[in-house]
Amino acid sequence: MAEEPLTWALLAPVPSDRLDKLAREYWREEVSTNDDDYAEEGWEVVGGKSNYSAVLDRNPGSQDTHEPALAKRISRALKRPVYVLYLNENLGDADEVDVYEGGRQTGHRPLAYEVAREVGVTLPGDEETQRASAGQPVIGVIVVEGVNAAQVARALDMNELPNGPVHIIDGPVGAVMYNDATDSPPLAMPRLSSAFPEKNVYTLGIKPLSHSFLAWVMRGGEDVGIFRSPASSGDEFAPVLDSVKGETTPRGIAAALGVPPGLLDLP
């Protein structure tokens, strides 16, 4: 039977054996002294490539139960942040990250899987990492028309411009956002469209193996439309566009949106 998708993951800057001990101590002191109850809850602790480890929860509906209290408890004695990632795509807060420092919540971040990669933790369900490791790269970008890179970073609760793997740069048409370590565009488009409701926000995506191209346009948090090359024969989730910025080819659209030459492997 297939595993349930992750509901949340807690990332802490401690080795996996210590994180497991901390999670068990929290359970015994705050929930139940019965170890069978802890085992039934099914928390899984995994290590990462750096100093961070993760507690994984797959229980449907378990968001906002134990993870905030656990994060506050663990972060009290640590100098680096503890992150709680909400990952189940069926949840309204999926792809969001809560940041905890010094025993309290101090902020939010977007791009949950990106945060995990930044601290060296590979999470189950991270399709970008899985496809990249299989040698099937797909490169994508977001363009936010009429704003600069610093504005986009602030809209995503970043205190400064990221220096990788996510990049936000100024372009001639607007800010360009991309990830040089994954095979898909960043997942922040709906959030950016809501943050800049008077601006068009574009996602451009390439699938080199199928030689296909996608341009998805949003404005004010709503879909404007989608352009594909070659055109899709199936139903689309948004109105079909026959051009973007007056252009009808992938190269023309990318150039019209100010995407740096060579950033996308355009068909």
- Domains within the chain, CATH numbers bracketed: 8-125 (3.30.70), 132-256 (no CATH)
pLDDT bin (cut points 50, 70, 90) of residue 238 is confident
Across 235-251, average pLDDT: 88
- Residue linked to tokens 């490169």: 139
- Does an H or E element contain 170, and which? strand 166-170
Give the confidence band of 135 by pLDDT, cuts at 50, 70, 90: very low
Lowest mean per-residue pLDDT among 53-62, 66-75, 76-85, 208-217 = 208-217
- Measured CA to CA, the distance from residue 265 to residue 98 in angstroms comes to 34
Residue 23 pLDDT: 92
Distance (Å, whole) CA 248 – CA 228: 10
Say what the pLDDT of residue 160 is.
84
Which of 15-24, 35-44, 188-197 shows the lowest per-residue confidence on average (mean pLDDT)? 35-44
- Residues near 37 by beta carbon (within 8 Å), at least 6 away in sequence: 27, 31
Q: Which amino acid is at 125?
A: G
Tokens 């948004």 locate to 238
Can you give the pLDDT at residue 1? 35
- pLDDT score for 92: 45
Q: How far apart are alpha carbons 4 and 243 in whole angstroms?
A: 40
Say how far apart CA 267 and CA 264 lie, in whole Å: 9
131 pLDDT band, cuts 50/70/90, is very low
Condensed to tens digits (0 to 9), the pLDDT of residues 101-125 reads: 999 999 888 778 878 888 888 888 7
Reduced to 3 states (helix: H, G, I; strand: E, B; else coil), residue 152 is helix
When pLDDT is cut at 50, 70 and 90, the band that residue 95 belongs to is low
The alpha helices in 156-249, defined as continuous H runs, are 189-195
Question: What mean pLDDT comes out for the span 216-236?
Answer: 87
Sign of CA dihedral 253, 254, 256, 261: negative
Rank 63-77, 78-92, 165-179 by mean pLDDT and report only the highest: 63-77
pTM equals 0.51
Closest CA to 86 of 56, 106, 107: 56
Note the pLDDT of residue 264: 80
CB 101 within 8 A of CB 75: yes
Q: What's the full length of the chain, in residues?
A: 267
Strand partners for 202: 143, 217
202, 145 Cβ separation under 8 angstroms:
yes
Which pLDDT score is estimated for 185? 64
Does residue 115 sit in helix, strand or coil? Answer: helix
